[in-house]
A and B are shown apart, each in its own frame.
Chain A
Amino acid sequence: MSVMVYKCPQCGASLAFDADKQKWECKFCLGTFDKQTLEEYLASLKERNPDLEKPEEVKAESAEEHVQEQLDEDFNRSARAYKCPDCGAEIVTDATTAATFCVFCHNPTIIPARLSGEYRPSKVIPFKISKEAAQKAFLDWCRRKPLVPPDFKSKPQLEKITGMYVPFWLYDCSVSATLRANAQKIRRWRSGNHEHIETKYYELRREGDMRFSGIPADGSSKMEDQTMDLLEPYDYGQMVNFDMSYLSGYLAEKYDVDKEGVWPRIKDKVANDAIAQLMSTAKGYDTVQITHQEVRIKSREAHYTLMPVWMLMYKHGDKKYLFAMNGQTGKVVGKLPISIKRAIAWFCGIAAAVFAVLFVASGVYFL
C-alpha cells in the first residue's frame, strides 16, 4: 500500500491546501497554485512517467502494509504503517485515516487506497476557514464565556487544533407523508359583567409528497453524532467534485459506518422535517394536537461526501472537552468547563447588585 504527497511544481516541496486563498501553497518557496495549474503539472508528470498512475505515488518495495509488532491487540488490529515518501519514516495511522501528516518531516500525506473504490467520495466541501481563523474563533468563543476557569485559555491548547475532513452521507429522499390532527380556535370577549370563551373544534387532514436533498449524517463512529448534527448546515453551493489534492495539509477519515448504518438517523430527520412541513400548512389555530402521522420513503439515494471540520480536544481537570467548528461556515459547537468558584462569585455579585438597586429603588418609592 502506498501514500501520496502533492509536490510543488516549482521546487518540489510538499503542498498544502490554503483555506483563505482557496489555492495550494508551498511553504518552502511561497508559490501558490490554483487547481488548473496543479492539474496541468500532474498531467505533464504523467506524460514523462507513464508507469506512474499518479505522480510521486511511492510504490514501496515492501508493498504490503506491514503491521507494527505491538503487544496491544487492539492497536494491531486497527493501526497501519506506511512509509513517508520524503524521509522514509514510518507513518502509523488508524484503520480509517485517509489523510495525515508524517510525524517526522510533517509532510502532508494522503493514502489513496482509502479514497478509492467504494471509499471514493463523490463530492467535497473544501475548507474555507484557515487554521489562524479557527484559533481566533476558539479564543473569541472562550472569551465571551464568563464562567470559564481563568487558567483555561492557554496557548498550548491552540496548537492542537486540527482540520479534518469528516466522512458524511448526504441523502436525497422522496417521501409521502400523512398527518391527522385536532385543532382549536379560541376566541374570548366580554359583554357587560360576563366573559365568553368560544372554542371551535376542527379536524385537520394533510397528505402530500415532497423531496429533500442533502440530508447529512456523519459516517464516522469516532465523531459524536450530536456534535456533528449541531455543526449543520453546510452550504452545498460550494461543494465541488472530489479531488484528493484538497486533502493535502489536513486530516481525513474514511467512513466506517456505511450508508445503511446511518439510514436510521436520516430517516428520523426526514420524518420530522416532513411532518413539520405538513404542520406548517395548519395556520390560524390556537392549538394543534397530532393524532396520527405517517411518513413513507418512496426513494432514497446516498452520496459520500467529505465535510471540513476544525476540532480541538482538550482536557481540564480530569474531564475531556471537545470544540468543533464547521470548517466552511464557522459555526461553533462545544462544551466549556465551568469554574464553580467563578459561578459563585458571579452569583454573589449579581445578587448583591440587584439587592442594592431594589433596596434603593424601594426606599425612594416609600419616601
Chain B
Amino acid sequence: MRKLFAVTLLVLSILLGALPASSLDTAQKIYDDADLFTEEEERELGEWARKIASKKKMDVVVVTTDDTLGKSSMAYADDFFDYNGFGYGPDYDGVLLLINMEIREVWISGSGRGESVFNDETIDKILDKMEPSLRADQFYSATRIFLKNVEYYASHGFQKAAYHTPGLAFVSIIVAALTVIGMAAQNKAVKTTTPDTYLVGDSVRLRENRDIYIRTDVTTRSISSSSGGGSGRSSTHRSSSGRSHSGGGRRF
C-alpha cells in the first residue's frame, strides 16, 4: 500500500518533472490592450499562464484588443504569436487566446504541438465553456476557463489522468465498498426452497383462470436526434510569417 503510493508519486514526479528553464518561463503572457482586466486580475492570470507554460512546455498567451489593424481575428492572433517570439522549442509550441472587442469575437490559435492538441474539436469544446462568460462580459472568468482547459489539454496521457484523480478515487472507493459489503453478506445463507418444493405433483386445479382485457393507452413523444461528435480533425492554415497554425473562433 505504502509502496504503491511511493511508486505512484515517483512516476508522477518524473512525468511532471521540470525540464530546463527557458526565458519564456518568465516572459509577459497577458497583453490586455482592450483593458478588460484589472491590474490584480492581470497579475494573477499572468502568473498562472507562466506556470502552465513552464510546466507543460507549451506557451500560453492571452491578448485582448479593440483594434486589429484591419486584420481578421485569425491573422491578428497568428501574427501576434509569430512576431513576438512566443512558443517553445523548434516548432514554437504554444497557444494564444485573442479576445477581439472590435467585433466581439474570440479566437484560439495553436502552434507547433499546440496545433494537434488544440484541434477543431478541442477548440470548440473550450469555446463552448467560455461563451456564457464572454456574453456576460465576464472576461476574467472566461480567461480562467481558458487557462484551466489549456492546463488540462496540454498535459500528456498520465498527467491528464492525474486531473481525473477525484473521479477515479471516487469510483475506486465505491467499488471497494461494494466488494467489502459483498464479502460481509457472504456470511448470510439464502433460502433454497421454492413455491414448488412442497407442492404435491400436479395437484393444482384451476377453477377460474381468466385474463380480462380492460383497455389500451398509447402515449407518443418526440425524440430529438443528437448530432455526431467531432472527428478530432485539425484544420491548419499558414500565417503571414509562413508558419502553420490551428485555430478557431466565434462571435459572442
Q: Which residues of A approach B to under 8 Å, CB–CB?
A: 144-147, 183, 190, 193-215, 229-230, 232-233, 269, 272-273, 276-277, 280-282, 331-336, 338, 343, 346-352, 354-356, 358-360, 362-367
Contact = CB atoms under 8 A, between A and B. Distances in A.
B220 A195 contact: yes
Given A200-B216, A346-B180, A355-B172, A363 B161 contact: yes
A359 B207 contact: no
B195 A272 contact: yes
A244 to B, nearest CB: 28
B209 interface: yes
B183 A352 contact: no
B66 to A, nearest CB: 39
Given A197-B218, A202-B214, A343-B184, A207 B198 contact: no
A93 to B, nearest CB: 30
A347 to B, nearest CB: 5
B198 A212 contact: yes
Contacts of B212: 202-205
Given A233-B198, A273-B198, A277-B195, 5 more contacts: A193-B223, A196-B219, A206-B209, A208-B208, A273-B197
B206 interface: yes
9 contacts: A197-B218, A206-B208, A211-B203, A213-B200, A232-B197, A350-B176, A355-B168, A358-B172, A367-B156
Interface stretch (B90-98, B107-115, B122-130, B185-193): B185-193
B200 A210 contact: yes
A233 B197 CA distance: 8
Contact of A198 (B155, B184, B205, B218): B218
B210 A205 contact: yes
Contact of B199 (A196, A212, A366): A212
Contacts of A335: 187-188
B173 A338 contact: no
B222 interface: yes
Contact of A194 (B164, B173, B220): B220
Most B C-beta atoms less than 10 A away, residue of A206, A229, A335: A206
A308 B169 CA distance: 50
Given A208-B205, A362-B164, A350 B179 contact: yes
Contacts of B175: 350-351, 354
A259 B165 CA distance: 63
A233 B205 CA distance: 25
A209 B216 contact: no
A226 B62 CA distance: 72
Given A230-B191, A273-B199, A201 B216 contact: yes
B31 interface: no
A232 B176 contact: no
Given A276-B195, A358-B172, A212 B200 contact: yes
A358 to B, nearest CB: 5
B187 A352 contact: no
A365 B164 CA distance: 12
B39 interface: no
Contact of B216 (A195, A198, A355): A198
Contacts of A207: 206-209
B195 A211 contact: no
Interface in B131-163: 155-158, 160-162
A113 B163 CA distance: 79
B4 interface: yes
Given A202-B212, A209-B205, A196 B180 contact: no
B10 interface: no
A365 B173 CA distance: 21
B161 A347 contact: no
A215 B199 CA distance: 9
A355 B221 CA distance: 42
B225 interface: yes
B215 A201 contact: yes
A346 B179 contact: yes
A203 B180 contact: no
A338 B214 CA distance: 54
Contact of B210 (A204, A211, A350): A204
A206 B206 contact: yes
A365 B208 contact: no
Contacts of B206: 206-208, 281
A37 B193 CA distance: 38
A161 to B, nearest CB: 17
